Structure formats: structure tokens, C-alpha cells
Amino acid sequence: MTFDFVEPIVFAMLSVGVIAAGAAVVLINRITAAALLMAFTFLCMAGMFVLLGAETIAAFQVLIYVGAITVLILYGVMFTKSGDRPYALFFQHQTPIAAIFVAAIAIPVLLLAFSFNAPAPPPRGGDLPGLATSVFTDFAFPFEIASVLLLAAMVGAIVLTKRDEAEGADTRRRERR
């Protein structure tokens, strides 16, 4: 008797978690609960990455999505006024279009899922060396481009917020005069 039976069970639990929490994120009315359930979805996805032998990806998934993005979304939710207007489904009139889009994505995915042969699992020792080597050799240029893009976005965000502040100070000074 070995531990081969554990992996499918864990996979099943994680899949149920991803699908149920993902559906709940869309269907639930309370936006904070939706944000927390989204974090749960990310955690389950991280678990799947671990099952696939990609621990580094899993760790970054949790670090960035659960630790930072979800907190950012919660921040946004807390600073957004809500509750004094009735909840309306924004997309309720677009059901046919939505159905077409869902079908366009779901059918290829289903077809692929049934014709997919899993590659052999990577050797033990984790994905860290392979990932690091490919990021810093084959994919060094895209990696750098992505970082420059992020830097530009960050500088842009700072400039946008700073400009408002300076203008506010100017008007205040003018008023004082």
C-alpha cells in the first residue's frame, strides 16, 4: 500500500474548492465575502500547483495574490461607499452574449481536457532551479520588459496622485492670497 491514493483525493478537494469558491465569488451579493472567497480560490490554485510539482509558482501565487492583491481589493471595498443602493446585476441584459462567450471558451477547454495526456511529473527537487534558469536566460528579455512596464505603471500612478496634490496646494495658496 502506498500513497498513490492521496493525490487524487487532494486534487478532488482542491477542484471542488476552486469551482465552488469561484462560483460563489460571482453569485454572492456581499462583496467582502466575495473578496475573501477569491483568496480561497487562489489558495486552492496554489495547492494544485504544489500537486503539479511547481512549488515556487504556488508560493508566488499565495505571496502575490492572497497576500497583496486580495488585501488591495479589500482596501478598495472598504473605501467604496456601498449599501445605500439596491444591488443590480450589471450584466443581466447580456445573457445571450455571455452564453456565447462562455461556450466559446468552455467547449475547447472541455475538448482539450478529454484529449490531454499529462506529461511525466518533473523529477524531485522542485521547480526552482529550472524556473530561475529559464527566467534569467531564455526569458530574460520578456522578464525585463515586464519589469519596465510595471515600473512605468508605478511612476505613472505616483505622477497622477502627486499632480492632484500640487494643484490642490496651488489653489489653496491662491485662495489664501
Closest CA to 146 of 134, 135, 137: 135
Q: Does 48 bind other proteins (CB under 8 A)?
A: no
Nearer to other proteins, 85 or 173 (CB): 173
83, 119, 123, 125: residue in contact with other proteins (rule CB under 8 A): 125
Nearer to other proteins, 79 or 91 (CB): 79
Q: C-alpha cell of 65?
A: 495574490
- Measured at the CA of 154, the angle between CA 150 and CA 158, to 5 degrees, comes to 170
Decide: 11 and 51 in contact? Cβ < 8 Å.
yes
Beta carbons within 8 Å of 121's beta carbon, 6+ residues apart: 52, 53
Q: Does 66 bind other proteins (CB under 8 A)?
A: yes
Least distance between other proteins and beta carbon 22 (Å) = 18
Q: How far apart are CA 58 and CA 44, in angstroms?
A: 10
2, 80, 137, 161: residue in contact with other proteins (rule CB under 8 A): 2
| Subset of 6-25 contacting other proteins (CB under 8 A) | none
11, 20, 59, 139: residue in contact with other proteins (rule CB under 8 A): 59
Q: What is the DSSP letter of 122?
A: P
Residue 163, φ and ψ in degrees, nearest 5: -60, -45
Q: How far apart are CA 41 and CA 20, in angstroms?
A: 9
Q: C-alpha cell of 116?
A: 490531454
| Subset of 137-176 contacting other proteins (CB under 8 A) | none
Span from 64-72, 92-100, 102-110, 167-175 in contact with other proteins (CB under 8 A): 64-72
Nearer to other proteins, 3 or 116 (CB): 3
Decide: 39 and 11 in contact? Cβ < 8 Å.
no
Q: Does 63 bind other proteins (CB under 8 A)?
A: yes
Number of residues near other proteins (by CB under 8 A): 24
Report the interface residues with other proteins, using CB under 8 A: 1-3, 32-33, 36, 39, 55-56, 59-60, 62-63, 66-68, 70-71, 74-75, 78, 125-126, 128
